[in-house]
Chains A and B, each alone.
Chain A
Amino acid sequence: MKTLLLVLLTSFAAFAGEALTGEVEKQALNMSAIIMFLIFVGATLGITYWAAKRTKTAKDFYTAGGGITGFQNGMAIAGDYMSAASFLGISALVYAKGYDGLIYSIGFLVGWPIILFMVAEQLRNLGKYTFADVASYRLRQTPIRTLAAVGSILTVVLYLIAQMVGAGKLIQLLFGLDYEIAVVLVGVLMILYVTFGGMLATTWVQIIKAFLLLSGATFMAIAVMAHYNFNFETLFATAVQMKETTSIMAPGGLVSDPVSAISLGIALMFGTAGLPHILMRFFTVSDAKEARKSVFYATGFIGYFYILTFIIGFGAIVMVFQNPQYLDLAKQAVDGGAPILGGDNMAAIHLSHAVGGDFFLGFISAVAFATILAVVSGLTLAGASAISHDLYASVIRKGKADGMMEMKVSKVSTVILGIVAIYLGIAFEDQNIAFMVGLAFAIAASANFPILFLSMYWSKLTTRGALFGGSLGLLTAAVLVVLGPTVWVDVLKNAEAIFPYKYPALFSVSAAFIGIWFFSITDRSENSEKEKEAYEAQFIRSQTGIGAEGAVEH
């Protein structure tokens, strides 16, 4: 292993030198990428087969039996969270704007400590399969489960569309496949992983992907730094020279006014703590101790990854920007400047070629594809669980559903969600979907998180409060995004936005908390008294884990 690494490390220097000055050679069919991708697909389908044999009960399907270790879960969380969008998008943002990319990635990280301090272990102690288990623990099942499921499904679908469209475009660029074929391929693989392998297969796909992505990004960052003798000052100085501006070393226009800055921060921080596919991962570990460790490792991996993307973005400035090999000549002829092939989002991909040649380009392309697969699988599983566990088993069958039947519904839901994702992925091909992940985070922060958080910490929460306040948060978030600049101006082409801010979270999260508080304290129903009384027992369980679901030994 060590010699292999050494060979890799010494060979890249030669590669990098040649790549920067070598001939322009554009490949139509990227064979090394396709071979590495096929190896990944083969291996993950093998895992799915292995996992399918171990997935017998609903508990296996939703939580991989609850026996995943903290370290594995931390890695899987990182695999779930580090999407292709964050790898390519954040390095592209650094490539284009420099420091702003770092600001953006920090927002995606700081939600994790909050998840650990406030919800992780309580979630593990109270829940079974979905975060709605916790939100509805002492409240009326039908309304709260329905609201939580709606919040989950909306978040999942918005996120899925963004991933699918990104996947289609990326694969089109990297492998030369048609957009439709790429989207269908992603959809079909994801359906296979989730329906047959459930959470166990999904978890391992995420762990492998996290490992590949972290290794690939580490290699790229080291390769870049080696060029500058591991001296950041030299790297930054060269980048500033290339860009002919020092603005990349300071905050730019990403957040212009205090309201937007705080609002974006709230959306990212509390949105992370309300993402159903992330919350679901806490049920895969055996107890509170492992749940805590999961977040510790996940925060480490994700933070490390964002530092790497920052180096990679600067690496792209010095090695890709103005490098004739990656220049989009046709576009340059029309628009001027120095546009790169495939747009800024390809910055990291081109950099992989610059530092490691065709072979490494193939590896990173395959990793990007693997990343998409891992993220969409986690999303689909969370969406399917909301349908089967919350809507079917708890709302429709009033908690009397048979486990096998529930699992069947879950698998059918997975297939349906997969088809919907493929369909929407194709339908949104040419749409401006930049707002979708933002909207997903806004809904997660404004509907899912406030209900979950107050159900754990506020004894006076009632069903009416959670239902009205949560719905209010959800609607406010959705309406303000539509009336704001990202949809009203960018998508609907109106001249001026009705709501001036891009990020609604400051307003919608406040609306949710105030709504929940107001409709809870004014709730005089008999039922609400019982709900308040039930808090004590819930609190004891959430703090100690007495009565919590245990793990199954494999």
Chain B
Amino acid sequence: MPLVKLRGVHKTFGSNHVLKGIDLDVEAGDVVALIGRSGSGKSTLLRTINGLESIDRGELVVDGVALDDGFGDLRTLRQKVGMVFQQFNLFPHLTVGENVMLALKVVKKTAHAEAGDIAKEMLLKVGLAEKFSAYPDQLSGGQQQRVAIARALAMRPRVLLCDEITSALDPELVNEVLAVVRQLAEEGMTLIMVTHEMRFAREVGNKLIFMHHGLIHESGVPRQLFAEPGTPELANFIGAVS
């Protein structure tokens, strides 16, 4: 059984039909790259997977938890799905360590000392152990994004969603974030990422999904699709971004 399963998922914003029936299976350990033009629905699709966007129709199951079961299950679902955002979204009034520890303490009721140990372990993983007591505004964008990854990982999610996590970074800071993601992929973390880093999608991803007009227009193995796109839309898109 797939870790993430979507069947016939529809989403509209007002008169704008953003998702027009998405079927998607993500297996544990998959690294999925979601690509497509702006407005194709790729970010919306990602955000439905942890319930940040409700779905109008269809079915969503993550690790046995179905989304349509109400508010209580929404929080159960979110404990299984971590998310990292384009704008980092660290909590500015908390230190780096407190950012990572907060949900452990208030959601999982982890004791302070244990939460601190987990936070240190996660910060070590992203190479920022020495920033434990710094505040977000004292860090570079790349460092903030690595803290955001550590914060998501601390909850031990089954799958990590990445929403254009390098798009707000200065070019020289992109690689330090991608290196962390690459390491997670190698460790077997299930990743679903909306990305414009085509080279990264090709090298690290094992599934490529091309969204077009609210549908999965084409999907497959990244290397093959990049070499031989099956549709003119994907060929155009690859031509436009590379």
Are chains A and B native binding partners rather than an unrelated pairing?
no
* Residues of B bordering A, CB below 8 Å: none
**Chain A residues proximal to chain B, CB less than 8 Å:** none
